[in-house]
Structure 1
């Protein structure tokens, strides 16, 4: 876990840097595509969200959510990613939705720097901070 200072411009700069953003999304997609078929299935995407524990915790406290409610939530997330309703999420769909998510995070952060604890050293927000730091120290 690391503590970083981040604002919306840091995230937006990362998203707008096509080389770094594209590479990061490709790596994330490859790690999620367990059967290497070039498409994320509903179960592969659900497994990713379950491993992040974004839904089953509330500020570090476990919460019991009924299984059918979790399934509905995961299905709605999958449907958001699966723009062409093909039943799978291809690389382009994944990249577009990750861009949308990160741009929404940037908008939410705004221009005021915030201190944030990040558990994942390979997560997109950490990569955004690392990219910004590399520009400062270059």
Structure 2
């Protein structure tokens, strides 16, 4: 776990570097696509998001929250309605999530605890590499 300082421009500049962002998203997609079929199923996505909600962190049961999140994601991002997210749909989801995080962080620098493999940590590493 790292404790970098970042702000919204850290995230948006990473997204704007299309080549680096795409490479990172493709790596994430491959890690999540456990069966290697080129689509992220609800089960595979659940595995990826499941670790984000610690047990006891909210009043609703954890599985119910994750199920609602997955349902919302598939309604919004499964453009071809085939029951799986392809790499293009996953990129769209990831980009929208990252931009939402950037808006939430705002322009003032914040100090966050980040997993070394997280997309936000990749944004920090990108910023450091371009300085």
Q: Same fold (TM over 0.5)?
A: yes
What CA deviation, in whole Å up to 9, does each residue of 1:39-73 have, x standing for no partner? 011111111111x2326453xxx866164454334
Instruction: Considering fraction of residues, name the structure with more strand.
Output: 1
Over the aligned positions, Cα root-mean-square deviation in angstroms equals: 2.0
Counterpart selection for 2:120 from 122, 125, 138:
125
Equivalent in the alignment of 1:18: 18
Which sections of structure 1, spanning at least 5 residues, go unmatched?
Answer: none
The separation in 1 between residues aligned to 2:112 and 2:62, in whole angstroms, is 30
How does the TM-score come out when normalised to structure 2? Answer: 0.89
77-86 or 124-133: bigger deviation: 77-86
Moved over 6 A (4+): none
Cα gap change, 1:57 to 1:30, in 2 (>3 Å): farther
How far apart, in 2, do the equivalents of 1:89 and 1:130 lie? 27
> What is residue 92 of structure 1 aligned with on the other side?
88
Aligned to 1:38: 38
Q: What TM-score do you get using the length of structure 1 for normalisation?
A: 0.84
Q: Which residue of 2 aligns with 1:102?
A: 98
Aligned in 2, Cα 1:9/1:70: closer, same or farther, shift over 3 Å? Answer: closer
